[in-house]
Amino acid sequence: MSFHQKCPKKVILKAQKGDKFALTQIYELYKAPIFHLAYHMLRDEHRANDVLQTVMVKVLNSINELSNTKKFNGWLKRITHNTVIDVIRSNKKLIDVSDESEFEYSPEEIVKHIDNPQWDLEQFFAVLDERERIVVWLYAIEGLSHAEVGKRIEVSEQNSRIIYSRAMKTLKSLASDPRYSGKTSGGKYE
């Protein structure tokens, strides 16, 4: 379930020559990581499946362009990220946010919160809207700057910061809420 798994070089080379069995092996090996990344960013199973299919079509059509088989995992992850971002961009509900006071939260601070074993990451991401999820993911998890995140989702750097700030305010407000802490109800809370 990770983009860090190894796909044998000979499978990639065969896939580049159009070998259908090799393409099937790649699909079977990477369908779970592609789907899970898309699902974490979109929180919609149907759209995550659409992303999976779109990514695999892109792989099929452009695998010949991959010159270094050692970069296959990163190449595939980049295609997945870009496809998810395309899905988010195409969503007409996404509107530009107005300027508001900015709150800074470091990537270390957010990672500290979401890596806490008491937290249920699935519930955390379910609370955020699509843009908040993608901005938190790209900034805090993938380590992109707000300028890079803004370019990716076609908003200004300032808007990326504001979206991130809103997500962090939501996260902090949920930190004390037992429904999102991963603790069982009726238990003693720290």
User: Using one digit for the tens of pLDDT, what is the confidence trace for 107-126?
Assistant: 566 555 555 555 555 666 77
Does the pLDDT of residue 127 top 80, yes or no? no
Query: With contact defined as beta carbons under 8 Å apart, do 147 and 157 qualify?
Result: yes
Does the pLDDT of residue 22 top 60, yes or no? yes
The residue with greater pLDDT, 56 or 140, is: 56
Q: Are residues 112 and 62 in the same domain?
A: no
Asked, for residue 147, whether it belongs to a domain, the answer is yes
Q: Is 43 left (phi over 0), alpha (psi -120 to 50) or beta?
A: left
In this prediction the pTM is 0.56
> What digits encode the pLDDT tens for the residues 152-184?
888 888 888 888 888 887 777 666 566 655 544
Q: What is the largest CA-CA distance in the chain?
A: 60
22 lies in which domain range? 9-90
Last residue of a domain, which of 41, 62, 90? 90
